A = this chain, B = another copy of it.
């Protein structure tokens, strides 16, 4: 975001608008109106209206009978389901996540490696009364999250270099922004098989994560647990790290990995 908006290669406007509308409608539980959408997206009512009508006609959006607000349509529900079904690891992980949660009590999280960051693809809430966790669909940075560091540490050297020389934005005062320090931490993570990021992604929160390897032996994601920093220490006890690494190993096997993991 900070750099590179000199030309800002524009895409097809109608595609952008369509997805913006779908996004807004999907995220607004109880229906949106034409006018509020128009002002929110900064365009004319008629444009929004025409787009909405098309989406209604196609079944992605549903217009409430008494001709008022627009909400999610059945095609979108179907689409949402298909998305979650097909987003990679998800099928293999849910049961393992539940088991991990039951074993340790903390929220469990699975993430997938993408070029832009670690994509959170599945979570199960912890047993504590207050809801701690990461939203499915969030994109975590490579340098500022336990997931990102765990994945990076076990990736190719070329990839590690890309991360180390790339954007190291500080999310909190604890985020590691010095390439040398980060590189040292990656070595440490590679040695022991797990990563933490106490207060590095958000103040008060800590995550413990281990990498998942696929059939080709490459990192494809991570599993881990999330909790308040006070409940999940920067250096978790062996029962925590063992449980997470064991879960990572089990999911790796489900993903087709054979042979020993490079840790544990």
Contacts and interface: CB of A to CB of B under 8 A. Distances in A.
Give the oligomeric copy count: 2
A125 to B, nearest CB: 12
A81 B84 contact: yes
A58 B19 contact: yes
A216 interface: no
Contact of A14 (B18, B84, B115): B18
A169 interface: no
B72 A79 contact: no
A15 B84 contact: no
Interface string A5-35: 0000101101110110011001111000000
Given A79-B137, A83-B77, A12 B14 contact: yes
A26 B82 CA distance: 6
A57 to B, nearest CB: 5
25 contacts: A11-B54, A11-B57, A12-B14, A15-B54, A15-B58, A19-B22, A27-B86, A29-B85, A62-B114, A62-B116, A73-B114, A77-B121, A78-B136, A78-B137, A79-B80, A80-B80, A80-B81, A80-B82, A80-B83, A80-B84, A80-B87, A80-B137, A81-B84, A81-B135, A81-B136
Interface of A: 9, 11-12, 14-16, 18-19, 22-23, 26-29, 50-51, 53-55, 57-60, 62, 65, 72-87, 114-117, 119, 121, 135-139
